[in-house]
Amino acid sequence: MSPVPTAVSTLRPTDYVSQLRSKIEDKSAVVGVAGIGYVGLPLAVEKAKVGYQVFGYDRNAIRVAQINQGSNYIRDVVDEDLAKAVVSGKFVATTDFSTLGNCDVIVLCVPTPLTPNKDPDISHVRNVGAEVARHLRPGQLICLESTTYPGTTEEVLLPMFAAGGLVVGRDYFLAFSPERVDPGNKRYTTRNTNKVVGGVTSACLDVAATFYKQTIIDVLAVANPRVAEMTKVFENTFRAVNIALVNEMALLCDRMDIDIWAVMDAAATKPFGIMRFDPGPGVGGHCIPLDPFYLAWKARQYDFHTRFIELAGEINASMPYFVREKVLRTLNDRGRALKNARLLVLGIAYKKDIPDWRESPALKVIDILARDGADVTYHDPFVPSFQDEHGKVRQSIPLTAKALADADCVLITTDHTQTDWDFVVQHAQVIVDTRNATKNVSSRRDHIVLL
């Protein structure tokens, strides 16, 4: 802990920049991570691995207890890494914020959901910001990682901290550095994904960049937090818009009887000026469906309407209904009605190889199919059960030849790598594949209906 400034030291103010920098560099700085979920936990474990003393704060006491017994609930974190960090005492979780308030570096990884009206809900950022402000002392670095609208760091957090009388960039440091965690991505982890950092002042940037350089190979400094904030929201909007564009193409190709997947494969061969996106049953996860709303909401304050974002949202939201239409037509071809048809949905997770089903388009698809009277069951190796919005709990059924053969139609909504697609195609009566998961299956192609 840094010494509290004394009367003597006021003659020559303590250089908190170099003091904190050197603490960061020799790993003696104590790191606090607020919010130990998908973003915070991998970060905390990485920091503990390189030698920092790390405290993890979460309001969810169950998570805290799980961490403290070394139980890992995030697949992106290696079990052994977490266990080692916990057993060695380098990583301790707590529900008591005061432990975190004393850390030299505090990283905020709290969630930024939407309100029921699809407005940004930054109450978690505000609450944890208020806690930080209460404990704020000279020589601390505070980094916000939560995805949010541009301006949050300087318009929400900075005024809270400034109220205590400390001077940003001299006494304490504030920066925004967006998380870029891609759950389930084996190639790009926290360590080898470039990190953008924007500091409120140049000293803030200096300290924050130093901190991130300890565990991340490439750190990119940008002029201020707003650039960093906008970068993150743009990245996700970019994905949402491009996916929507491809989805729109898929709708058109369906009308024109053109294979969208063949088009995508062919277009992707162009070495420049194109980027591959795949159509699908809709978008899911915590970022892509949510983040554009943050930007659109903020834009309205500037009398600006983000038309692309709205349009993209509209098209992506229509995809589950298009999937229903596909299923309906497929059953119709076989002389069956959707009502009372037995449907087996493969994959609940919003993307492949992860256990996360929140905001997943598969939920929407199941919901509308069930509403039409279909008898829907599902299989997902990563999601043993889930509760739908009506409170009904659904259980994953084992993927057996009988289960496949019994279904009037098998609907692929997530292309988990471990699923044996040959086996699925071999036994299913007919398959609607919204992910082109069966692209490598050569037999019984006439039983596969692609999106």
Q: 268 or 401, CB closer to another protein?
A: 401
Residue in 2, 5, 37, 83 binding another protein, rule: CB under 8 A: 83
CA gap 423, 305 in Å, rounded: 48
Task: Please choose, out of 43-51, 151-159, 256-264, 391-399, the segment that lies near another protein by the rule CB under 8 A.
Answer: 391-399
Task: Please choose, out of 28-36, 69-77, 119-127, 409-417, the segment that lies near another protein by the rule CB under 8 A.
Answer: 69-77
* 429 interacts with another protein by CB under 8 A: no
Pairing relation of β-strands 195-199 and 172-176?
Answer: antiparallel
* 405 interacts with another protein by CB under 8 A: no
Least distance to another protein from the beta carbon of 126, Å?
20
* 71 interacts with another protein by CB under 8 A: yes
* 64 interacts with another protein by CB under 8 A: yes
- Residue 253 annotated to the active site: no
Detail the DSSP E strand segments found in 25-138: 30-34, 53-57, 91-94, 105-108
* 79 interacts with another protein by CB under 8 A: yes
* 400 interacts with another protein by CB under 8 A: yes
Task: Considering only residues 89 through 118, tell me which ones interact with another protein, judged by CB under 8 A.
Answer: 95
* 88 interacts with another protein by CB under 8 A: no
* 163 interacts with another protein by CB under 8 A: no
As a whole number of Å, the CA-based R_g of the chain is 25
Q: Apex CA 348: angle with CA 319 and CA 320, to 5°?
A: 10
* 401 interacts with another protein by CB under 8 A: no
Q: Which are the contacts of 42, defined by CB distance < 8 A and separation ≥ 6? A: 74, 76, 77, 181, 189, 190
CA gap 43, 35 in Å, rounded: 10
Task: Please choose, out of 72-80, 106-114, 151-159, 212-220, the segment that lies near another protein by the rule CB under 8 A.
Answer: 72-80
H helix and E strand count, the chain: 16, 15
Q: Which residue in 109, 204, 287, 409 is the catalytic one?
A: 287
Q: How far is CA 26 from CA 13, 53, 99, 123, in A?
A: 23, 12, 21, 35
The pair of three-digit structure tokens given for residue 418, joined into one six-digit string: 């471990």
| Contact mark string toward another protein, 32..61, x via CB under 8 A | ---------------------------xxx
CA gap 196, 351 in Å, rounded: 25
* 396 interacts with another protein by CB under 8 A: yes
Least distance to another protein from the beta carbon of 37, Å?
12
Least distance to another protein from the beta carbon of 72, Å?
6
Q: Which are the contacts of 409, defined by CB distance < 8 A and separation ≥ 6? A: 327, 330, 331, 336, 341, 342, 343, 344, 429, 430, 431, 432
Number of residues that bind another protein (CB under 8 A): 29
Least distance to another protein from the beta carbon of 67, Å?
9
CA gap 246, 240 in Å, rounded: 10
C-alpha dihedral, 255 to 259 to 263 to 264, nearest 10°: 100
Q: Which of 367, 447, 380 is nearest to 418 (CA)?
A: 380
Active site residues per annotation: 287
Q: By the criterion CB under 8 A, which residues form the site for another protein?
A: 59-62, 64-66, 69-73, 79, 83, 87, 95, 355, 382-387, 393, 395-398, 400
